Structure 1
Amino acid sequence: MSHWLPASPCTPPGCAVHAGPARHPLPAAALLLAGCALTLAGVLCAPLGLSLTDGARRERLIRCWAHAVLRAFGVRVRITGPPAARGGTPAVRGGAAGIGGGLPGGPGSAVGIRAGPPGVLVVANHVSWLDIPLVAAVCPGRMLAKSDIRRWPVLGPLAALGGTLFVERERLRSLPATVRSLASALHGGARVVVFPEGSTWCGRGPGGRFRPAAFQAAIDAGAAVQPLRIRYLGGPPDPRAPAGAAAFVGDDPLTASLWRVVRAAGLTAEIRVLTPIPAGAVPGRRELARLAQSTVASDSANLPAASVHH
């Protein structure tokens, strides 16, 4: 299997199981309808929101909508840490952009005369489709997503309207062009959101290895990296235990995942904003990927040993 198609050991029967209290099917169905309706409303209203010239107002609108979508699906939201980075970190130029071997780019490939500071590369561990509105509730940005999502009902058109950068995961040859597109967006001042594990993990344990390609784009653009840590927690008897209901892993159908989420009572989505990594903090993309991964996984040591995949 190509390194561009990483896989996790998580499976729906083994990981996507809710051990806490469950909602009755009728209120669960009402939540499902409410969540889908609010998501559809986002698709219909997206052109109006994107037409706003006030960037701060547009961002507030997106954050409120994303938070409302999560609540509509019955998921509580907990945000911890300082405000997310917005960009403007001074870039450290020099030889860093070319270290790490072989990806096209470097300081001259995605740059020109920049009017303002570079954007920020936002990276997070990947557990669920819920990660997308959860990150948007904290720091909206242009998402990097697999091209399959473009064909999803409701969510696909919304992603396209929101400026999502799509990548064909099955075509390794598309990787250099993807890196150039990311670097161009970052150099233009955009906040770009990437899940560098390349696959979803259930949230038990540290997760997968962060792939370095997106970090090359950050180096090329002189952009800072903003790490986020995502966890989904269950209700009684142990509200601090990882919640399997949120996991969207393996060949799990989206419809099954949606129903599992709305049936899970007491589900809480927790996102922790971690200390940004300044541009030029480490010399190459692999080192930057490892630093970001260790930052995101730093609190996984508090999880019970039985919950970690081996």
Structure 2
Amino acid sequence: MSVWLPGTPCTPRACVEPTGRVAAAVPRAVLRLTVVAALVLTAIAALPLGRRVPAGLVSRWCRAVVRAAGVRVRITGSAAPTGGLLLVANHISWLDIPLLAAARPARMLAKTEIRRWPVAGALAARGGALFIERDRLRALPDTVARIAEALRGGTAVAAFPEGSTWCGRAQGRFHRAVFQAALDAGVPVQPVRIRYRLTGGAPTTAPAFVGEDTLLASLWRVASSTGLVAEVDVRPAIPPGTHPDRRALARAAQPEGARP
């Protein structure tokens, strides 16, 4: 099994809890998804080729996408350093991607399959995503080198080191490969913890995108839910040189509650 492609026991049937009444949710979900689609298509049309988009504009747009889907956003914690930085987070949902960008715009490390997604694939490619072939172990050294090169150039790179989505009740451990790039480039690592709750504070798995779930099914579940809140906790950055190897660095960045 590839280091980029670990397994997860989470499935929609066993783990995901939709919220809200289905019949009453249909008009709301249709309206929300229409607004999300309009925001995404506008971004694709307006994204300038070969030019840097201001970080503040990226953050506001990503927050707007999440809000349009019906999810409130709470971002707390430390400010991200400027310059080269590896941003790492636990992975639950497709919502994690705009949430992470809302906290700190960065080039996203993404599986090659995303490039083929309608609309979202084009947006990811034009947004500078670094695509990886997760099922090719031979591609690992080249991928790590590409990430390290981007980091040395002063770029922030965002990754989900669990390698797969989990429902939020359980978490996977951070795999070490991506942390080698931060060591090679001599840049800090900033952990981010993402949680999803209902308005009253109870944890929820409704936003999870796991197992055989389809993107369309997950989009509909989120848009038809009520009272979803996304919490993004930006932890203090781990300075370069404070951990001797990628195993120790991955362990230091690992959120609590992950599998041993």
TM-score past 0.5 threshold: yes
Does the CA contact (< 8 Å) of 1:6 and 1:197 recur in 2?
A: yes
Corresponding position of 2:26: 25
- Between the aligned partners of 1:24 and 1:139, the Cα distance in structure 2 is 32
Alignment partner of 1:197 is 2:162: yes
Corresponding position of 1:68: 64
Does the CA contact (< 8 Å) of 2:182 and 2:189 recur in 1?
A: yes
Corresponding position of 2:195: 231
Does the CA contact (< 8 Å) of 2:172 and 2:259 recur in 1?
A: no
15-24 or 256-265, larger mean C-alpha shift: 15-24
Segments of 5+ residues of structure 1 without an aligned counterpart are 88-118, 301-307
- Between the aligned partners of 1:280 and 1:234, the Cα distance in structure 2 is 39
Deviation at 1:2, TM superposition (A): 3.5
1:140-159 counterparts in 2 under 5 A?
140-159=105-124
SS at match of 1:24: helix
Does the CA contact (< 8 Å) of 2:180 and 2:246 recur in 1?
A: yes
Q: How many residue pairs get matched?
A: 259
Does the CA contact (< 8 Å) of 1:11 and 1:251 recur in 2?
A: yes
CA 281–309 in structure 1, closer or farther in 2 if over 3 Å, else same: closer
Deviations, residues 204-239 of structure 1 (Å, cap 9, x unaligned): 13x11111111100000001001100011124xxx3
Deviations, residues 23-48 of structure 1 (Å, cap 9, x unaligned): 52111110011111111111111116
196-205 or 16-25, larger mean C-alpha shift: 16-25
Deviation at 1:51, TM superposition (A): 2.2
Segments of 5+ residues of structure 2 without an aligned counterpart are none
2:179 to 182, 197, 215: 215
1:82 to 78, 85, 89: 78
- Between the aligned partners of 1:45 and 1:249, the Cα distance in structure 2 is 31
Q: So what's the TM-score if we normalise by structure 2?
A: 0.95
- Between the aligned partners of 2:225 and 2:25, the Cα distance in structure 1 is 10
Q: Letter of the 2:85 partner, please give it.
A: V
Deviations, residues 124-165 of structure 1 (Å, cap 9, x unaligned): 000000001001111010010000000001110110011100
SS at match of 2:115: helix
Does the CA contact (< 8 Å) of 1:21 and 1:266 recur in 2?
A: no
State the Cα RMSD in Å: 1.8
Q: So what's the TM-score if we normalise by structure 1?
A: 0.80
Larger radius of gyration: 1
13-22 or 77-86, larger mean C-alpha shift: 13-22
Does the CA contact (< 8 Å) of 1:121 and 1:194 recur in 2?
A: yes
- Between the aligned partners of 2:110 and 2:70, the Cα distance in structure 1 is 25
Q: Letter of the 2:107 partner, please give it.
A: R
Deviation at 1:283, TM superposition (A): 0.3
Q: Letter of the 2:197 partner, please give it.
A: L
- Between the aligned partners of 2:56 and 2:247, the Cα distance in structure 1 is 34
Corresponding position of 1:128: 93
CA 195–74 in structure 1, closer or farther in 2 if over 3 Å, else same: same
Corresponding position of 1:288: 249
Does the CA contact (< 8 Å) of 2:2 and 2:134 recur in 1?
A: no
Q: Letter of the 1:289 partner, please give it.
A: A
1:183 to 117, 123, 148: 148
SS at match of 2:87: strand
1:248-263 counterparts in 2 under 5 A?
248-263=209-224
Identity of aligned residues (%): 55
- Between the aligned partners of 1:201 and 1:209, the Cα distance in structure 2 is 11
Corresponding position of 2:35: 34
- Between the aligned partners of 1:6 and 1:137, the Cα distance in structure 2 is 27
- Between the aligned partners of 2:18 and 2:75, the Cα distance in structure 1 is 22
- Between the aligned partners of 1:84 and 1:289, the Cα distance in structure 2 is 18
- Between the aligned partners of 2:3 and 2:189, the Cα distance in structure 1 is 22
Does the CA contact (< 8 Å) of 1:21 and 1:265 recur in 2?
A: no
Does the CA contact (< 8 Å) of 1:144 and 1:192 recur in 2?
A: yes
Q: Letter of the 1:161 partner, please give it.
A: R
Does the CA contact (< 8 Å) of 1:204 and 1:309 recur in 2?
A: no
Alignment partner of 1:165 is 2:130: yes
Does the CA contact (< 8 Å) of 1:9 and 1:309 recur in 2?
A: no
Does the CA contact (< 8 Å) of 2:20 and 2:225 recur in 1?
A: yes
- Between the aligned partners of 1:250 and 1:79, the Cα distance in structure 2 is 27
1:73-112 counterparts in 2 under 5 A?
73-87=69-83
